Every structure is written in C-alpha cells, then in structure tokens.
Amino acid sequence: MQRSLWMLILSCGLGLAAHAQSSDLYEQTSEVNNLMVQFRADYGNLDRFYMIEASPDRMTRLQDIVKSYLGKVQELPYAQYNTGTKVDYQLFLRQLQSMQFNLQKEQQEIHSVAAWFPFADTIYQAERSRRRGTRPDAQAMALDFSRITRSIDTLKARLDSSRQTFTPAQLRRSQAITGGLQDALKSVYEFYNGYDPLFSWWIPEPYKKLTASLEAYGKAFKEKRAAMPGQQDDGSGIVGHPIGREELIRQLQVEMIDYTPEELVDIANKEFKWCDAEMLKASREMGFGDNWKAALEKVKNSYVPAGEQPEAMMKLYNESVDFLKSHDLVTIPPLAEETWRMIMMTPERQLVNPFFTGGEEFSISYPVSGMSEADKLMSMRGNNPHFSRATVHHELLAGHALQEFSTNRYKTYRHFETPFWIEGWSLYWEMQLWDLKFPASPEDRVGMLFWRMHRCARIIFSLNYHLGRWTPQQCIDFLVDRVGHERANAVGEVRRSFVGGYSPLYQVAYMIGGLEFTALKKELVDSGKMTARQYHDAVLHENMMPVEMLRAILEHKDIPKDYKTNWRFYNL
C-alpha cells in the first residue's frame, strides 16, 4: 500500500514536470522552430557567399535551399501540433513559398534579358575563382576585359537604337545585372591589386575602362526605362513602380488580407466619411462652423518655437503613458520606459519622412538651420503638439517602442514581419485612445483626426497609384486638398511611399491593420472573454504575424493544413 502510494505520487510528479516542461517549451519555441533556425542559418551562409546579384551561382543555390526546406516543412507531422505550432508551420511555409515565387520571377527576368549580357559568364567566373584565391592569368584576364569592353560598347550602341519592346521589369533587372557585374569586378580587383605583381601590372587600365563601360551600359537601360509611358517624371520628381492589380492581389493574399484592392479603397472611403463628420463637430466647437480647413489652420499654427520641440514631445509622452496606466490598458515594463531615447532626424531623412519615427529610438522631425524659411515653417506646422498627440504614443508606448521591447523578449524565433502587425498595432492605439477620450479639447481632436484621415488617404492614393490610375503628383495633390497636408510634407510622404524602400502594401497596412486589431478586440474584450490588458499583453507576447493568425491562436481555432485566408473583419 505504501509502495503504491509512493508510485502514485511519483507518477503525478513526473506528469506535472512533463507539463511544466511542455509549457516552458511553448513559451519561447515550437516544434517548427528548429527547422526555421536551420533555414535562416543555411540561407544566410549562401546569401553571404553567393553575394553577386543575379549571378547564376546565387540564383541556383538560393532556389535549391528554398526548395529543399519546402520539402522538409511539408514532411512535418502537422496533425500532432497545437494551434501555435500550426501557425508557425503555416507562416514558415508561406514565407518559403513567397521566397520561391520571388526567386523564380527574378530568374525568369534574368533569362529574358540574357542576350544583352553574353559576356557575363567570364566576369562571374573571375569572381568565382577569386573566392578561393586562385591566382589568375593576369595577361589573359586583361585581354578578356578589353574584349568585354568592346562588346559592351557595341551592345550599348545597339540598345540605344533598338526598337525592341522591353517591360519595366526587364529594364530594372538589366540595371541590377550591370550593378552585380560591377560588384563582381570590384571584388576581384580589390582582392588582387597591389598584392599580385602581375595583376597590378596588367589589370588596372583594362579594369578602369571596363567598369566605365558597364556604368554607361546600366545608365542606358535606366534612360530607356525613363522614356517608357508611365515611367516619366510627372513634375513631382518622383518616379516609382506601379505593380498592377494582379500583383496587389497576390501580395494581399500573402499578407492574409482577404479583400480586393477595390474593397480596401471602399473601406478607406467609409472610414474617411466618419472622419469628416467628426472633423466638422470639432470645427464647429472651435467656432469655425463647417470650414474645417480653417480649424486645421489654427491647429497647425500652434507649433512650438524652434528648440522647444523635444520638451513638448516629452510632455505629450508623459500624458499618454499616465493615461495608459490609469486605465490599466497594457503592461509597461519599467525597463521599456527607462531605455527609449530621443534623436533629431537629419535633414536628408526629412526629405522622405517629414514626421516622427519611433521605436526604442524616437526620431524627432523638426527644422534645422540649413532649411529654407518656407520648409522650416511647413515642418513646424506639420509637427505641432495637437498633431503629435496622436503620433507620440504611436511611436513610443504603447506603440512601436513597446513592440520592439516585446519582440526582443517573447517568442523571438517568430520573424514573420508584416506591416499589418507592426503599423496596425500602433494605429490601433490611436483608435483606442480616441475612443477613451484621450483628446480632451477640440484642437486635440482635430490633430488626431488629421492623422486618421491621413491613414485613410494612404490606402486611397497608394492603391490608386499601384492600380495605374493616379500619378505621384495626383497623390500629392490629394494629400494637400483632402487631408490638409503642407505641400512639402505631402511630397515627402509620397516620395517615401513609392521610392523609400517600402513594400507596395505598407501604407495600406496602417489603417487596415488597426481595423483588424479593433475587430479582434471586439471578439475577445468587448465580449468579456479577456480584459483589455490581457488582450494587449497577449498580442505582444505572441510576437509579430498576420493578425488573422494571431486570432487563431488567441481564440484556439482549428487550422487545417490547407488553410487559406478567409477572415472578413470589416463590414462593408
């Protein structure tokens, strides 16, 4: 009897230990993570080793490694996993499939212009041998370089007079190939020159001529693209790359947004209508009647003098954090409060981002002495305290700074970056603080509404641009006329959207991601299943991913292996 009792106690203890171990496992990892770690390491090795863009070695090896891991993922015992691990499976598979698509597209583009680069293999072979330090036949290499230079000059003359029909993608790819070839030559030259006497004797002059010819060849492809219909500067100084409806839909599916571009524009217009009504209410309270632009003008002129912006932003930060704490909305770790810091944004960055950026480092956009008087005034007016009431907590707490703090600590293996989570979360907090009456005065409400209108406008102008309906100048005019932007700030916003390195869906993601988080809050908090603090903490602890997958985790939804995005979170 006593022995049986001890066996029962031991059994229970082992069961509890196993449960604890299992719980600990899912705090920071999942069964899919081991494969993800291996893939990132393997891909990183190949990416760094085969570093020459568009080279055959690079394209072959990257496609091989992605294909290999696609097979490994699909062999995992999916049915045995819990919801969180199934989400990791789905998102890792999605990541690999997207990478495969992009690599195959790149390979097709390279193949379609290969006839314009018959000399490329000789350069690639020189770089390939350089990686392992093979001593070149310098005299033969010099002859190769001279022959290639003559070939490029002939091809350039043919290109200049050619009536061949290129696509913008082919011309961009050709520019990328010439850039990669220049990088390959540079790596060879810098490795041997000055170290190998014969190389230093034979190569410098042929190398100089070859790189100059490649530079001119790349420029010729660029000029040919600039002359194409739809690729010219419309007077705005901004030339981007509209991707078209088909590619927009593909990318929306990858981001797990189950709406068409046209439906997203409808959502933006519906949200805009709400903003218009609220803006008129605030304008009337300020004594401007229905002339909301006059009310906006007064708010813009509330800017603080040069030199006082950092202190004004600190005051707003303290107000917003005190508000979050008093309403018990989210856990704010003391270290997160302690370690964020301010910097002043450079004039160069302000050309593409005329407003704050944030995270652990809070970058303040405000005039510097070298700007023209007109640009100084536009910067100050566009970053006035009432506008900043929306943006300070967007960039700091509980927005990007708290996001960054959390993603470095919870489920850190989840590298499923998406702007719908990153920007959607920060925009969601603008919406929540509005609902909780954080803007106390009509001026504050005008300031916050300006930004809400701006997020609606981002959807409308960016999708219309990528659908081929609007030019950059029309986008700028829309921001000035419909939202009330300062023109210099509108130019910076459009330049940032189309040539700032952002994905085509990035500007869409603010409002749409915020609406996703709001819809999920209704399902979990407004229904009484969780408190606001529990919900907000749970979002941060799961790390970044499409909000539809976060919903599956928090609501313990079944995720079939052939899962397709299907969440219609907004009632049109």
DSSP, residue by residue, 270-293: HHHHHHHHHHHHHHHHTT-TT-HH
CA angle centred on 31, ends 26 and 33, rounded to 5°:
90
- Could you report how far apart the first and last alpha carbons of the chain are, in Å? 68
Pick from 180, 201, 496: which is nearest to 357 by CA? Answer: 496
What are the respective helix, strand and coil percentages of the chain, to the nearest 5?
70, 0, 30
Task: Check residue 303 and report its DSSP letter.
Answer: P
Residue-level pLDDT at 355:
78
Share of the chain above pLDDT 90, in %: 83
Q: How many CB atoms lie within 10 A of CB 91?
A: 21
Query: Contact, 542 vs 550, CB < 8 A?
Result: yes
Q: Give per-residue pLDDT as tens, 160-211.
A: 999 889 999 999 999 999 999 999 999 999 999 999 999 999 999 999 999 9
Query: Contact, 316 vs 302, CB < 8 A?
Result: no
Q: Give per-residue pLDDT as tens, 476-527.
A: 999 999 999 889 889 989 998 998 889 999 999 999 999 999 999 999 999 9
At 515, which helix (H) or strand (E)?
A: helix 506-524
Asked if the bond preceding 79 is cis, omega within 30° of 0, the reply is no
User: Measured in whole angstroms, how far is the alpha carbon of residue 499 from the centre of its chain?
Assistant: 13
Q: Judge whether residue 10 has pLDDT over 90.
A: no
Q: How far is it, in rounded angstroms, from Cα 315 to Cα 385? A: 10
Measured in degrees and rounded to the nearest 5, phi and psi for residue 188 equal: -70, -50
Please tell me which residue, 16 or 55, carries the higher pLDDT value.
Answer: 55
Give the pLDDT mean for 94-101: 98
Radius of gyration of the chain (CA): 28
Q: Give per-residue pLDDT as tens, 428-444.
A: 999 999 999 999 999 99
Pick from 346, 392, 352, 386: which is nearest to 366 by CA? Answer: 346
Q: Is 149 helix (H, G, I), strand (E, B) or coil?
A: helix
Q: Give per-residue pLDDT as tens, 386-413.
A: 999 988 989 999 999 999 999 999 999 9
Q: How far is it, in rounded angstroms, from Cα 6 to Cα 378? A: 78
Q: Judge whether residue 259 has pLDDT over 90.
A: yes
Structure tokens at 542: 């799961």
Query: Contact, 357 vs 363, CB < 8 A?
Result: yes
Q: Give per-residue pLDDT as tens, 546-557.
A: 999 999 999 999
Structure tokens at 145: 């370089």
Query: Contact, 355 vs 298, CB < 8 A?
Result: no
Q: Is 343 helix (H, G, I), strand (E, B) or coil?
A: strand
CA dist 504 to 108, 262, 275, Å? 21, 15, 25
Structure tokens at 459: 């959807």
Q: How far is it, in rounded angstroms, from Cα 531 to Cα 528? A: 7
Burial letters 21-44, b for 16+ CB under 10 A, else e: eeeeeeeebbbbbebbeebeeebe
Q: How many CB atoms lie within 10 A of CB 451?
A: 21
Q: Rounded to the nearest 10 degrees, how much is the dihedral formed by the CA atoms of 190, 192, 197, 198? A: -110
Mean pLDDT of all residues in the chain?
Answer: 93
Q: Judge whether residue 464 has pLDDT over 60.
A: yes
Pick from 438, 446, 437, 445: which is nearest to 295 by CA? Answer: 446
Q: How far is it, in rounded angstroms, from Cα 242 to Cα 175? A: 18
Q: How far is it, in rounded angstroms, from Cα 336 to Cα 317? A: 13
Q: Judge whether residue 12 has pLDDT over 80.
A: no
* Domain spans, the chain: 28-112, 114-232, 248-554
Q: Name 427's Cβ contacts closer than 8 Å, sequence gap at least 6.
A: 394, 455, 510, 511, 513, 514
